[in-house]
């Protein structure tokens, strides 16, 4: 299934956007890599906990051994900036394809921009995460280095959850990031496959896609009349299997 999706999506049909598989299930990550579906990978502590990961280093090193040639983002797990910096440098040392996710602030709301700037100056490839405002995007643009690859992950899905249309925000984020040729804007927390096409239209460089959404990419261009019939069939089959009567 994913192999067929991979062949289709790799063509991108002119979308011009990278797909990063978002998750922490090693098997799913390796399948996305093997099928050529993913251009990169992202994970975070919440996803790792849900996937039952017990040893961070063991998990990360297993992934890096199996996927040595695509960008992979791992996140720091401290709330103290000094310790964040130590963790970020350790994560970065694990491989040249590692991007270090640093949240835009700590839990007190104190900005991480000074740390992000220091790490970028040292050559660490930073993925500034949990970004939701254009002021935060502008701050990242100011502190990253032109010569060092970096990512700013804007949580468009969470912005939409508040009732705000994320499209203008994402367009503006892309415009701000254009000042740094090595800075990619990542559409984070997508809620539906439509977000992929919206992200591409906004000019986002990449989008983080969950396994469930990845599997839906094969629906691109599907005939809606046939989709309607299949949905009716699903309802009928489920009612029959359940033995419902009226």
Domain-located, residue 243? no
| Domain annotation covers residue 236 | no
* CATH code of residue 134: 3.20.20.70
Q: How many domains does the chain have?
A: 1
pLDDT of residue 48: 94
In the predicted model, residues of the chain with pLDDT beneath 70 are 1-14
70 in a domain, yes or no? yes
Domain assignment present for residue 213? The answer is yes
Does the annotation mark 101 as catalytic? yes
Residues 168 and 170: their CA atoms lie apart, in Å, by: 5
Over residues 148-191, the pLDDT tens digits come to 999 999 999 999 999 999 999 999 999 999 999 999 999 999 99
Q: Is 230 inside any structural domain?
A: no
Residue 244 included in any domain: no
Residue 242 maps to a domain: no
Question: For residues 149 and 135, is the Cβ–Cβ distance under 8 A?
Answer: no
Q: Which domain holds residue 8?
A: 2-221
Query: Residues 12, 50, 101, 215: which is the catalytic one?
Result: 101
Q: How far apart are CA 115 and CA 120, in angstroms?
A: 8
Task: Look at residue 182 and tell me if it is in a domain.
Answer: yes
């Amino acid at each position: 299934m994913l192999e067929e999706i991979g062949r289709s999506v790799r063509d991108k049909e002119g979308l011009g956007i990278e797909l990063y598989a978002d998750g922490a299930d090693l098997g799913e990550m390796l399948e996305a890599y093997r099928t050529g579906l993913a251009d990169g990978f992202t994970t975070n502590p919440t996803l790792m906990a849900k996937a039952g990961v017990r040893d961070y280093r063991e998990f990360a090193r297993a992934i890096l051994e199996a996927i040595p040639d695509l960008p992979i983002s791992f996140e720091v797990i401290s709330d103290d900036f000094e310790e964040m910096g130590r963790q970020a440098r350790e994560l970065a040392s694990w491989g040249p394809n590692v991007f270090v996710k640093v949240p835009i602030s700590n839990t007190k709301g104190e900005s991480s921009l000074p740390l992000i700037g220091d790490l970028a100056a040292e050559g660490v490839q930073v993925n500034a995460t949990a970004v939701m405002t254009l002021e935060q995007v502008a701050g990242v643009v100011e502190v990253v280095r032109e010569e060092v690859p970096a990512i700013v992950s804007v949580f468009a899905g969470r912005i939409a959850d508040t009732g705000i249309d994320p499209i203008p925000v994402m367009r503006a984020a892309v415009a701000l990031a254009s000042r740094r040729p090595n800075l990619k804007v990542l559409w984070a927390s997508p809620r539906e496959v439509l977000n992929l096409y919206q992200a591409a239209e906004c000019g986002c460089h990449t989008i983080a896609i969950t396994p469930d959404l990845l599997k839906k990419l094969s629906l691109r261009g599907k005939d809606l009349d046939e989709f309607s019939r299949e949905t009716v069939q699903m309802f009928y089959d489920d009612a029959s299997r359940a033995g419902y009567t009226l």
